[in-house]
Amino acid sequence: MLTIAIYDRDDLGGNPSHEPLCEVEGCVVRHDGQRLSLLEEVCKVLEMCLDKYSTPTPPTDCFTVLIKRSRRSGTELVARIDLVARNGRTNASVLLEHGECVGVESVHVDPDDDAATIVLQIVKQLIAKGW
């Protein structure tokens, strides 16, 4: 089970210590039983969420996404995305589960895009780039 927690931030860095703006939980498996990559699963969970629900629009320019995977043995942080959204563009820094750090090219966002929509755009760009 994935938990995608989106936190509003006044600045980037450190760990969020307050309640998230929103959390999305879910798990996706293929019909053939093969596992999706982490980013593919995050993408599918966000798409399913956005098909039925909306999430808040981030109140500030900076926000952080913590993605955790729950298993029988416990919960582990598998990715962190730090985002800055200004003037219709979003830049992101992504730290993946194996210590890989990826910078994401600027992505266009609309002023009324909600938090999950913005994160989904970043994740789709990562998948398109082969991560």
| Chain segment 116-130, per-residue pLDDT in tens | 999 999 999 999 988
Task: Check residue 119 and give its pLDDT.
Answer: 96
Distance CA 21, CA 58 (A): 8
**CA dihedral sign of residues 14, 115, 79, 7:** positive
Nearest C-alpha neighbor of 128 from the set 104, 97, 110: 104
pTM: 0.90
| DSSP codes, 25-42 | EE----TTSPPPPHHHHH
Our count of domains for the chain comes to: 1
Task: Give residue 41's domain range.
Answer: 2-128
Residue 12 has pLDDT above 60, yes or no: no
Task: Check residue 22 and give its pLDDT.
Answer: 95
| DSSP codes, 82-116 | EEEEETTEEEEEEEETTS-EEEEEEEE--TT--HH
**Lowest-pLDDT choice from 10-24, 61-75, 81-95:** 10-24
